[in-house]
Structure 1
Amino acid sequence: MSGENQAKGNAQSSKKANCCQLTVDEVGLLKLKLTILAVLCVILGAFLVAFQVLSFMRVENAETERMLIEQKNRNDDLTKENTKLKTGLQETERMLIEQKNRNDDLTNEITKLKNELQGGKCADGWQYFDGSCYHFSTDTKNWTESRDACVTMGGHLVIINSQQELDFLNARREMGDGRSQRDFHWIGLTDAEEEGEWRWVDNTPLTDPKLVQPKHTVLTFVSAQYNSHSTQFHWFWGINQPDNYKEWGPQDCAMIFAGKLYDETCRSLKRICETKSCMAGV
């Protein structure tokens, strides 16, 4: 009897030991499962974080792409507008060039017609200005011979009536045929009849205040002492003219030189003849 009880006790002890051993294994397995589960949770969390990051980046990229598309569209619009403006500018430049060419053609035509018209107003060898024709000689004669030569040609030694006419004569006198500012030309003015009483070849006295200047007055355009003679006038006479310098004889004849009038001995010089235009007033 005691032997059976002992055997039963041993069996129960062995069974309890086996139960304890299984519990340890289960605990280990449970820990393993928990570890795996924790790892899976971490991985899942990482995936979730990564997914959120990717989603955020996708949204950001989409917004950036949208902005880039909008900017590209704006750039395209600006490019089209720039092209349109450039085309318009080129068209405007083309029209301006065409208009300039038309203006140049009209100017040339007007000049041509004017030259033809003026050329028709004067005989060959004469130049037109303001209703009169002028001949600039290349040969030289004394004043009396020059006066007679102009009459023979149907005119007279030039009678100057204005600053504009004097400017015209001076400009033409210095052009072409070897003429230069050193050339002197007789004009139709003399005081041979009475010293100091200057008269034109048509016997009219020299009375224009811009032509008349007190004798022996040296003009200066900076000194106030000559205000009484009015420096506003552009004097026709040269400085200190007429002076009747008599070293080579009396200076009773007037010539034009460098845009001014000078008295001179009536020696041989070139001359300027004047006559009315055959189409005066046209």
Structure 2
Amino acid sequence: MADRDIDCPMDLDKITNILKFSIPDKTGQETDGGRCSITSIHLGLAALIVLIFTLAIAIGLRVHALSVNKECDRANLCNDTSNEAQLRLTDLNAKLRDCARRHKLALKRNNSLCQFLNIHSESLCPCGWQVHNQNCYKFSMDRKDWNTAKQQCESLNSHLIIINTPEEQNFITEIQTKLNERVYLIGLTDQESEGNWTWLDFTPVGFASWYYGQPDNWKNKEDCASILTKDGKTFGWNDVGCSDHFPFICEKMSLPLSKLLNLRNVVPEESGTQNEMLRMV
């Protein structure tokens, strides 16, 4: 018991000292333990600030990433649109080149056709026909009456000759002389109205070259006309009976306008061109 009583004062002193360090004095000074608590608070606040700042940075980076992705999507869309436009442009350029090629080919064809026509415009007549001033003439040696001769010429896409100028008549006379045939039927008649002579195309007679004293309608039976030559000279025209049989002359254009329009799409070849075009006339 005596030993325990001696140790008690020492224990009380330790306890008193501990309390002094734990409780602040009246001047408000802190103990070492209080300073540690304040430091911990400061460190916590700093950590919170750092955390908030880190989160702000993370959010900013995320927003920036989303913005970049959106811009990338827009860029990809623009690239796709650009690629599609480029493909369309390429296709259009190809079509334009093809059109230019076709146009160049068409010009070449037209130039070839024009050159061909310039060279051969005086020879575009079927075999056996004579050519003069872009007209074709067939001197048939078959003896026919006037109406039969007219039908036969029409079967050849032509008509009995219509003489419009002295030059044309001189050409006819020249061929007649070479063929040694004096009389040929021509496309002149007054069958519709006696004395009213008209050509087969119903045009009135402009240039006329009647032989002296003709037409005389001999025996009231001469309603058709012929051309007479002798010794290389034109005697003139003479009225004959439409039922009388004589050689006749057919005439047609060497290059009719209707055929010329069709020839625009014809491409002359190096061989056989003229024959092909003559079949179209």
Give the TM-score taking structure 2 as reference length.
Answer: 0.45
Query: TM-score scaled to structure 1, two decimals?
Result: 0.45
Normalized per residue, the structure richer in strand is 2
